[in-house]
Amino acid sequence: MHEIFFAHPTAVIDEGVIIGEGTSIWHFSHLMKGCNIGNNCVIGQNVFIASAIVLGNNVKVQNNVSLYEGVVCEDDVFLGPSCVFTNVINPRSAVSRKKEFKKTLIKKGATIGANATILCGITIYEYAFIGAGSVVTKNVAAYALVTGNPAKQTGWMSEHGNKLHFNEKGIAVCSSTGQTYYLKNNQVSKM
């Protein structure tokens, strides 16, 4: 039988994992029973993916990332090296909170920078960009650039990953693609 995905021999893939066509899973990664990985994803070295995790198509999970139950990544999401997700607000070793997991939704095209920490129960909207090392404690608007601890919005990003500079009419153009964006009521949309 021809495999539709690549898995390095050291990867551990539990029975019952769904893996899409063209996906690559690298050294020492562990995918638990019940997770669902889309097409053309890249799962880097030493990645842990818990059961019930859903990754859309073309998701890139860089080295040393752990995705715990409650995290959902839509298509084209980038998770930078060693970024961290939580799934309980108030963990205690002696208190079982498995019924209290909070969902974290990462929408299409969003980027999470290296070593960023994402607290549970929030949504990071389309094409948002989380700077390296940031600690995200609340929802992040579509196309927003957030940095720092706690993360605060410091700008806007294009779908191509370039910083947007809006003129007095609320119009910006991506320097790489020429795509035009519009800023109104603190929300960005493509024109």
Backbone angles phi, psi at 98, to 5 degrees: -60, -25
Q: How many residues does the chain have?
A: 191
List the chain residues with pLDDT less than 70.
Answer: 1-2
**Residue 40 region by backbone torsions, left for phi larger than 0, else alpha for psi between -120 and 50, else beta:** left
Looking at residue 98, what is its pLDDT? 86
Q: pLDDT tens digits, residue range 89-103?
A: 899 999 999 888 899
Count H helices and E strands in the chain, helices first. 0, 26
pLDDT of the residue at 69: 93
Please name the CATH architecture into which domain 6-159 falls. 3 Solenoid (2.160)
pLDDT in the model for residue 1:
42
Residue 126 CA, chain-centre distance (Å), reads 10
